Amino acid sequence: MIRAQDIHENTPWEDLSPGGEIYEPGTALAFDTGTWRTNTPVLYRELCKHCMLCVPFCPDSAIPVKDGKRLDFDFMHCKGCGICKTVCPFQAIEMNLGGEVK
Amino acid sequence: MKTALSGNEAVAYAMKQINPDVMGAFPITPSTEIPEYFAQYVADGVVTTEFVTTESEHSSMSVCIAASAAGARSVCATSSCGLALMHEMLYVAASSRLPIVLACVNRALSGPININNDHSDSMGSRDAGWIQIYAENNQEAYDNFIMSFLIGETPQVRLPVMACMDGFITSHAVENIELLDTEVVQGFVGTYEPEHYLLKKENPLAVGPYDLSAFYMEHKVMQAEAIRASKARILQVAENLAAISGRHYGLIECHQMEDAELALVLIGSSAGTAKASVDELRQMGQKVGLVKVRVFRPFPAEELAEALYHTKAVAVLDKAESFSGCGGPLFAETRSALYDLPQRPQLINLVYGLGGRDFTTESARSVFERLAQIAETGETGPRYAHMGQRTRGSAT
């Protein structure tokens, strides 16, 4: 039973799983999809009240939370859709053009 | 137990004996009776199957895929346009390596719309990655269906199986049949215990992930190797069935082939008709025989080459067009199977029986007449033709 972390582009077919099955949860975490980002959110910490509204709205679970506070974006998974900016009641999020994190 | 059942009844009865976990059900002629009879078993409480009625065949196959991935033994039945509507999901089932068993009651695929038998539906699915087994009669429909579970569920195989029978001819005609005792069937198929399944909570699993060019090729090679491996397993399961039933099945069935000079190659119920002609011609001293292809996927290429190498002239009868302009699917693959032989018989292809056009003992005899001419003169004439159609200026 091959682990996801041991599957790479040099793995021979004999070692792969039938149908590409993955035998553990949460492996999308290790997959960098942040390169697909078109626009990039910026968090203004001084305006953020940690109301947590942006967290469940994020379609990519790219807003980590620790001890009741939201942290900066997980740019390995954020695609820049801007939903967080739209739902933020405190204008604490702005969107920059392009995928680059400044 | 000896009794008399239609092909649909026989398959529904096999399903009852197996008592699968889930059936994805949607009716279509001529397979409708299978979910219909089975629904009665569910209503009567004689099976514990989760009977899921769906809004289409795309969905009935999707139900089977989801249930099978979850760890459930899943069954389905369909025909013709129903199979076509499942087409996409057939590939998903096979590539996800889910051993679903589908009773395919063969019917012409539209258009023009037609409810009668030919093999255009399942031949259209021949490259979907399913094992395909074709029945000549009700007994085979019953036996093949029961064997399908053991074949598909084998860990080295893990592929879905299509157990096919001819619509109406086999599905609706009542024939004598010998059924196995339910305890024997249950002992034979055992319980389905996959190593990985979605409901196994101690081992989280993702099924059917996105597969890009870095991995897709490898997964397809695995699939191709699995269907190759299924050949040995099909024969092994057939041996196991023979031990409890006395009925013997191979990938192909050779009838009067030992010293045959002229032979037919064909699939399904027409083999029964043609056997009668073969026996009749044998009594008249003619060296004729036939090869019935029982398993079309994996294709029994070596077995066909072995069965046919000593013949002089062979007619491959296709109950499906493939509109290649040069022959039906069984012909194309049979001819390919013979290519590596140092000496080959003359081979012709006749597409017959489309949309329920009758195939009679006279039809089979007329083919042997043509083969005799080919063997004598060495002239094949057109290698690819149709038979049984009305043609201007010739008697039918």
A22 touches chain B (CB under 8 A): yes
Is the domain of B106 the same as that of B192?
yes
C-alpha to C-alpha distances, B340 to B115, B168, B301, B334, B380, nearest whole angstrom: 39, 38, 10, 11, 20
Are the Cβ atoms of A18 and B206 closer than 8 angstroms?
no
Q: What does the pLDDT look like over A81-95, one tens digit per residue?
A: 999 999 999 999 999
User: B-chain residues within 8 Å CB-CB of A9?
Assistant: 214-215
Residue A74's SS3 state is coil
In this predicted structure, the answer to whether residue B396 has a pLDDT above a threshold of 80 is no
User: B-chain residues within 8 Å CB-CB of A16?
Assistant: 215, 218-219, 222
Task: State phi, psi for B144 to the nearest 5 degrees.
Answer: -60, -40
The answer to whether the complex's ipTM is over 0.90 is: no
In this predicted structure, the answer to whether residue A5 has a pLDDT above a threshold of 90 is no
**Residue whose token pair is 């034979």:** B188
CA angle B329, B330, B336 (to 5 degrees): 95
Is the domain of B148 the same as that of B273?
no
Is the domain of B55 the same as that of B77?
yes
Is the domain of B265 the same as that of B240?
no
- Final residue in a domain of this structure, among B245, B262, B292: B245
CATH of the domain at B257: 3.40.50.920
Residue ranges of the domains in chain A? 1-31, 36-102
* B391 within a domain of the structure (yes/no): no
- Domain with B381, as residue range(s), is 252-386
Are the Cβ atoms of A23 and B196 closer than 8 angstroms?
yes
Q: What does the pLDDT look like over B263-309, one tens digit per residue?
A: 999 999 999 999 999 999 999 999 999 999 999 999 999 999 999 99
What's the gap between Cα B378 and its chain centre?
Answer: 33
What's the gap between Cα B375 and its chain centre?
Answer: 31
Strand partners, B252: B293
User: A-chain residues within 8 Å CB-CB of B206?
Assistant: 21-22, 25, 27
Q: What does the pLDDT look like over A17-44, one tens digit per residue?
A: 999 999 998 888 888 999 999 999 999 9
Per DSSP, B27 falls in state -
CATH of the domain at B175: 3.40.50.970
**Residue whose token pair is 């699917």:** B329
Residue B371: name the closest of B323, B311, B307 by CA. B311
Is the domain of B216 the same as that of B288?
no
Q: What does the pLDDT look like over B196-209, one tens digit per residue?
A: 999 998 889 999 99
Omega before residue B30 within 30° of 0, cis: yes
Is the domain of B219 the same as that of B259?
no
Residue B197 to residue B195: CA distance in whole angstroms: 7
In this predicted structure, the answer to whether residue B341 has a pLDDT above a threshold of 90 is yes
Are the Cβ atoms of A18 and B158 closer than 8 angstroms?
yes
Is the domain of B92 the same as that of B65?
yes
CATH architecture classification, A36-102 = 2-Layer Sandwich (3.30)
What's the gap between Cα B222 and its chain centre?
Answer: 23
Residue B176's SS3 state is strand
C-alpha to C-alpha distances, B27 to B38, B57, B208, nearest whole angstrom: 12, 8, 27
In the numeric block, which tokens belong to residue A6?
């041991």
Is the domain of B376 the same as that of B270?
yes
Question: Using CA atoms in the order B249, B252, B256, B261, what is the torsion angle rounded to 10 degrees?
Answer: -170
Is the domain of B235 the same as that of B290?
no
A:42-81 residues touching chain B, CB 8 A cutoff: none
In this predicted structure, the answer to whether residue B190 has a pLDDT above a threshold of 60 is yes
Is the domain of B103 the same as that of B199?
yes
Q: How far is B273 from chain A (nearest CA, A)?
A: 41
- Final residue in a domain of this structure, among B245, B271, B304: B245
- Final residue in a domain of this structure, among B245, B268, B283: B245
In this predicted structure, the answer to whether residue B73 has a pLDDT above a threshold of 70 is yes
C-alpha to C-alpha distances, B339 to B291, B306, B314, B326, B332, nearest whole angstrom: 18, 12, 14, 16, 11
Tally of structural domains, chain B: 2
Is the domain of B293 the same as that of B323?
yes
